[in-house]
Structure 1
Amino acid sequence: MTANKRQTSFKLSKKLDKALDLYQQVPYRIATASNLLALDRDANVKHITHLDTRAIRVLLNIGSYGPINAADIAYQTRLDPYSVTRAINGLLKEGLIQAANDHSTSRSKFVELSEAGTPIYQNIASYMAKRCEDVLDGISDEEQTLLMTVLEKIELNTERMLAQNAQTLKDNGGTPTRDQSEQIRWFKRTQKQSK
């Protein structure tokens, strides 16, 4: 059954005057795809590693962009800093990552893959590349380029919206959560980098 057939299988409620057609809501459709793409739903990922989804995402970022610190991983993945720090501590405990020596003057602790973590990263990265091919099957190079451009714009617009909402809450005397405060910081960082 295609998404279009799934859409026609579900009729909008007649009990409400203006029922929201979720199939026409881009954020809803992205969230649906994201739910399907969650690493912990993929049996092959579970076969490759015992790590949970958060730890896998952090390990992938360390392998791809390391040496890297927790703040940069949080910004890159949009995971909350507390979750990133917990994942880093778990990966350090398992010996899959280690402190990086070449950033000793920095206040932030930089980490990189350890010798034990490198083959795990390589196995996951190899599978992720294959997974990407499967997900993009039948989508032309031109469509993929357009998709990446649109996704970047959606990410930037969403980041701006969330930061503005959190700032409005703060300006009106509310107390943003730690995650909402982080959204404000991420937005400011993105703005600074784009100049």
Structure 2
Amino acid sequence: MIKSSARRLAFQLTTEHKEPLDLTNHLPFQIAVVSNLLALNRDWKIRNLSDLDPREMRVLLNIGSYMPIKSADIAYQSRLDSYTVSRAVKKLLSLDLIESQPDQHKKNVKNLVLNERGLTIYKHVTAAMDERSKQLESVLTEEEKASFYQMLAKIEDKAEQLLAEQAKELIAQGEDAPADQKELIRWRKKSKS
């Protein structure tokens, strides 16, 4: 049986205007609420493992999990914008946690990898994340967990589609779509081929 959240019980929709948006029944808003609770810097066990901010932590985790990897691929995989990834990469390089290496196939492309210091932080953080994940997943059966991941994939795909279509519309109107939305178009074409 699913219980109503404490927030749903504590807050009543306003009567100050007609048709207020019920945020407790608004899927994107609810996903954002849970995402806020799951932010790496909200978990003190993870936060105490390094002095990295959440942006840098997410980029370090992507590098550790998928290295060697390009910054553009980190942006797409993590759904961070390229500017945010670029800032995090600069910070991680200055902290001597990652290295930039030339790509074997494309000489003008740089791949990112963790060095020993970065790998040590990565291992500590992922162990703490894995422990937290197991605790969170304990409220779901295996069937529910599989279904949940399938639903998340559908929502992610639809969100990507909507943003890519918006970017295409902007471009068709002669406007310049932001770089992150151009990347969505590129990746959407790549994944559909």
TM-score of the superposed pair, with normalisation by structure 1:
0.89
Name the residue aligned to 1:110: 111
The Cα offsets for residues 85-114 of structure 1, whole Å up to 9 and x where unpaired, read as: 121121112111112366374322101110
CA distances 1:107-154 after superposition (whole Å, capped 9, x unpaired)? 221011101211111001111111111222211111111111111111
Q: How does 1:34-113 map to 2 (within 5 A)?
A: 34-100=35-101, 103=104, 105-113=106-114
The CA distance in 2 between the partners of 1:190 and 1:171, in whole Å, is 17
For 2:76 and 2:157, the matched residues in 1 are separated by 12
1:132–1:187 distance in 2 versus 1, CA, 3 Å: farther
Match of 1:150 in 2: 151
Q: Which stretch shows the higher mean deviation, 38-47 or 5-14?
A: 5-14
Q: Please report the RMSD computed on the Cα atoms of aligned residues, expressed in angstroms.
A: 1.9
**Are 2:102 and 2:109, in contact at CA under 8 Å, matched by a contact in 1?**
no
Q: % of aligned pairs identical? A: 37
Name the residue aligned to 1:18.
19
Distance 1:73 1:82, change over 3 A: same
SS at match of 1:103: coil
State the distance in 1 between where 2:60 and 2:34 align.
22
Aligned partner of 1:165 in structure 2 is: 166
Q: How many residues align?
A: 191
In structure 1, the gaps of 5 or more residues are none
Question: Separation in 1 of the partners of 2:107 and 2:85?
Answer: 19
Shift in alpha-carbon separation, 1:105–1:14, aligned structure 2, 3 A: closer
Cα 1:122–1:108 shift into 2, 3 Å: same
Aligned to 2:182: 184
Where structure 2 has 5 or more consecutive residues not aligned to the other structure, the ranges are: none
- Cα deviation for residue 21 of structure 1 reads 1.4
Call closer, same or farther: CA 1:58–1:139 in 2, change over 3 Å: same
Alpha-carbon contact 2:100-2:110 (below 8 Å) kept: yes
Deviation beyond 4 Å, 4+ runs, structure 1: none
Q: Is the 8 A contact 1:159 1:183 kept in 2?
A: no
Give the letter aligned to residue 88 of structure 1: V
**In 2: Cα distance, 1:49 partner to 1:83 partner:** 19
Please report the TM-score for the alignment, with normalisation by the length of structure 2: 0.90
Distance in 2 (CA, whole Å) between partners of 1:74 and 1:68 is 10
